[in-house]
Chain A
Amino acid sequence: MLNEVTIRIGGESGEGTISGGDLLALAAARWGYHVYTFRTFPAEILGGPCMFQVRISSDHPVKSMGDNADVLVCLNKEAYDRSVHELRHGGVLIYDPSDFTPEAGDYITYAIPFNEIARKQVQLFQTKNMVMLGALSGLFGPPLEAIYQVVESKLSKSRKANPILMEKNTLALQIARDYVTQTLTKRDPYQLGVAEKADRVVLNGNQSLVAGALAAQCGFYAGYPITPASDIMESLAKELPQQGGTFLQAEDEIAALAAVVGASFGGVRAMTATSGPGLSLMTELIGYASMAEIPVVIVDAQRAGPSTGMPTKMEQSDLSFALNASHGDTPRMIVAPANVADCYSLMIQAFNMAERYQMPVILLTDQSLTARVESVERSAFRPMAVERRMEYSPNGANGMNGASAKAQNNGHADAAQDAHEYARYAFTATGISAISTPGPGAHPYSATGLEHDEHGHPDYEPEDHMAMMEKRFRKLDIAAEELPRPQRYGDVDATIGIIGWGSTEGAIQEAVDRAREKGYKVASLHPRVLSPLPDRTIRDFIRSVKTVIVPECNYSGQLANLLGAKYGLQAIRVNKFGGIPFTAGEILRAIEEVS
């Protein structure tokens, strides 16, 4: 018996394929199993093929979506045609004989009349996905009890409105489970055992980002709807007012970042979230925030580009753009979470970086991570320190907080005095200058995108521009020293190194594990901060191995290009750019090929 199973469900968008899969994943996770999901769906609201895959283990954490499906559930013929080649040899194919008859192959088949059970026995065709869940429970072990509970909790509102619906759902689950246990003979090895009690939460990347934004005391959000970032906006529209924050749906992405810049000028921690097309529109304001040294946080939920591209498909292809977006030489910071837990902690770190270094921070997630549901130890969501921008204090001590400075003044600013005293853009050793936030006793200044002197007044002298450029970039040098460094994973004496970024870490680490089991000497490095890069750590890593592989879900090898330009690295590039993330097996093959 195997304690791990990867189940893929293929069907038509809009008929409950994804929601059925989500319920299965949630039920399994609540029962104490480790889960990791992957899904694809069309950009259309109804219709078109969609696919949901969940990897479930009863005794070990799962880091990636799995190489192949162990179990393929085909809710129609198209799902079979599209996915049967990705079914593991010896895997399980589940289908409805009224839809199609599969060709003979190296797999175990179970014919289950989903349509007939839903239509004739339950007498409500919409319960087809419940029929499927009941069958999966009977075959592979996620207890029906767990599924009941999840269905009940998820549908409680509509149940009140329609008690018949819940009855029908319950009936569908039970009939299907009884059908498989009484009619079918189990011929496959997949049987999930009893899981140990664990304290985990189950959520996707965007839900985790929202938790991070709230924990980071985000006080203002402005955004424009765009796939796959809209649910960040929808959640914050609901949650922010409950935490004392405000929300604005902007008329476009330019207005969104403009409003965020305005709010941050007012001293409020502010963010927006978008995808590639929206980030394109924001570029001028990214340059402004960098020049005027206004903290802002921008989430870019990458999707396959260029242009409108494939809005519901995954790609890691905005790194080059995020590094360079804006005309001129423009310092900015970039972070990229690798998993659901990271979405929480890096969101908080992004706010802290924006505040400390007074700079735009771009957080690069991607479509696969936005929707990826993981079971995460609850302890990953612990309170984290919230860092505030350095407020100007008239009495010298720059570290002094604004509130006490205002308390000492106990009144309003003196214009004449301020104009001479307060230098908003004062040259400092760190490049960080004390900011002034409007309010009683604060020291007024004008922020500007023009080159300026220490007081913020326009200044085009060559010496001033050079000194200001150096000041703004100095903040990146300081940050590179101050920010946490990535940890090496795998062999200390590795000959093969892998450097990745973003949502691919799980697949890379799983490939490293499997390669080491096969006797290869492998290690990986996965920097979370991509601007400024942790130079020393990366140089040391490159030096410590013979060959470096850089796997990326993009065409041109954007991290590989960066590492080549910065460190002269000639990496082995492994690029996947079909809109689907890496499997561990694909990276393992790359390791085997270079060995």
Chain B
Amino acid sequence: MVQSAVSLTLKDYKSDVKPTWCPGCGDFGVLNAVYRSLAELKLPLDETAIISGIGCSSRFPHFMSTFGMHSVHGRALPVAQGLKMSRPDLTVVAVGGDGDMFSIGAGHLIHAALRNIDITVVVMDNEIYGLTKGQTSPTSPHGHITKSTPYGLLASQFNPIATALSLNVSFVARGYSAKPKDLAALIQQGIRHKGFSFIQALSPCPTFYNTFNTWDEAVAALPADHDAHDRGKAMTLALETEKQYLGVFFQEERATMDQAVHEVVQQAKDFEIGSYIARFA
């Protein structure tokens, strides 16, 4: 039986694999937001791919009934870009945690920003390493005591939104797993945006670093008059540490590499070795 894409509902995006996350994990909210955003966009299961690396949040693709790749630690972005470059017809969403995207795979963020390939990345940021049971992460606050920082974290805290803005990422937003409807709206906008979309999803870890209460108090909608085309203003708001603003910090339409490359790429034709090799005669 063939199911038309039009009739897809939220539950169609759920696989029959039950999430392995701890009770109360913020990632449930993000998962629901992704289900919701894909359903609202009515994206066909067979033309959508969710790409992850390694970590608690990276189990994500297994809980989806779309195509998925649970890849290697830190490498969701290059895997997703390779897929989108060669298959621009697909919707490609990369997901992962703060360790994946800001530590082991942080280098890839720069180049994803420069290429502006039309993929969306949702980073579930819990400011801690969960799967390895509670070590510090790049987004842990300075002084934070963890199993790997028994005397307090001596490094500074990484600022994902300010970094994305400084890299001139073409869509930069922050959401919160405890507000899944708003987060779903941001993810939807990110997927619709043509280019590299970066969404930081605050997603607390109740087991190793419960930030629900802190974030409940810290989050606030971006000022109503915020102009998402003003990167300088967005940066000022991103650098504010007392408040964690939610919404679209910055958005700019510009050429994407996956489209630009296909202007160069000619219609596939049958390669003829005889005429190719003639250049060496």
A residues within 8 Å of B by Cβ? 30, 199-203, 207, 211, 214-215, 217, 219-220, 222, 240-248, 250-252, 254-256, 258-263, 265-268, 270, 284-285, 288, 292, 378, 381-383, 409-419, 438-450, 457-458
Q: Chain A interface: which of B85-93, B130-138, B153-161, B192-200? A: B85-93
B231-281 residues at the A interface, CB under 8 angstroms: 261-262, 264-269, 271-274, 276-278, 280-281
CA of A98 to CA of B135, assembled, Å: 70
CA of A409 to CA of B54, assembled, Å: 34
**Best-surrounded residue of A219, A292, A447 (most CB of chain B within 10 A):** A447
CA of A443 to CA of B15, assembled, Å: 13
The 0/1 profile, CB within 8 Å of A marked 1, for residues 15-44 of chain B is 111000000000000000000000000001
Across the interface, which residues of B come within 8 angstroms of A412, CB to CB? 2-5, 44-47
| Interface SS, A side | mixed
Across the interface, which residues of B come within 8 angstroms of A441, CB to CB? 46
CA of A285 to CA of B71, assembled, Å: 8
Are B110's CB and A251's CB within 8 A? yes
B residues within 8 Å of A by Cβ? 1-5, 12-13, 15-17, 44-51, 54, 59, 61-62, 64-73, 75, 77-87, 89-90, 107-108, 110-111, 261-262, 264-269, 271-274, 276-278, 280-281
| Cβ-defined partner of B12 (8 Å) among A415, A438, A442, A443 | A415
| Cβ-defined partner of B67 (8 Å) among A258, A414, A446 | A446
Are B75's CB and A254's CB within 8 A? yes
CA of A444 to CA of B46, assembled, Å: 6
Select from chain B the residue with minimum beta-carbon distance to A287. Answer: B72
Given A263-B86, A446-B68, A211:B276 Cβ within 8 A: yes
Instruction: Apart from A255-B111, A378-B281, list 15 A-B contacts with CB within 8 A.
Output: A215-B273, A246-B262, A255-B75, A263-B87, A266-B82, A266-B90, A270-B86, A288-B71, A383-B274, A412-B4, A438-B67, A438-B90, A444-B67, A448-B61, A450-B70
Across the interface, which residues of A come within 8 angstroms of B59, CB to CB? 458
CA of A247 to CA of B85, assembled, Å: 8
Are B71's CB and A414's CB within 8 A? no
| Total inter-chain residue pairs, C-beta < 8 Å | 219
CA of A412 to CA of B3, assembled, Å: 6
Select from chain A the residue with minimum beta-carbon distance to B59. Answer: A458
CA of A555 to CA of B143, assembled, Å: 51
Given A413-B46, A458-B62, A262:B78 Cβ within 8 A: yes
Are B3's CB and A266's CB within 8 A? no
Are A419's CB and B16's CB within 8 A? yes
Select from chain B the residue with minimum beta-carbon distance to A386. Answer: B271
Shortest CB distance B19–A (Å): 12
Given A242-B266, A413-B45, A214:B111 Cβ within 8 A: no
Given A265-B69, A409-B2, A258:B271 Cβ within 8 A: no
Given A270-B86, A447-B70, A439:B1 Cβ within 8 A: no
Are A444's CB and B110's CB within 8 A? no
Select from chain A the residue with minimum beta-carbon distance to B5. Answer: A412
CA of A448 to CA of B67, assembled, Å: 11
CA of A211 to CA of B3, assembled, Å: 43
A-B contact pairs, 14 of them (CB 8 A): A220-B82, A222-B82, A244-B269, A248-B82, A248-B85, A252-B107, A255-B78, A262-B51, A265-B69, A378-B277, A378-B281, A415-B3, A438-B46, A442-B46
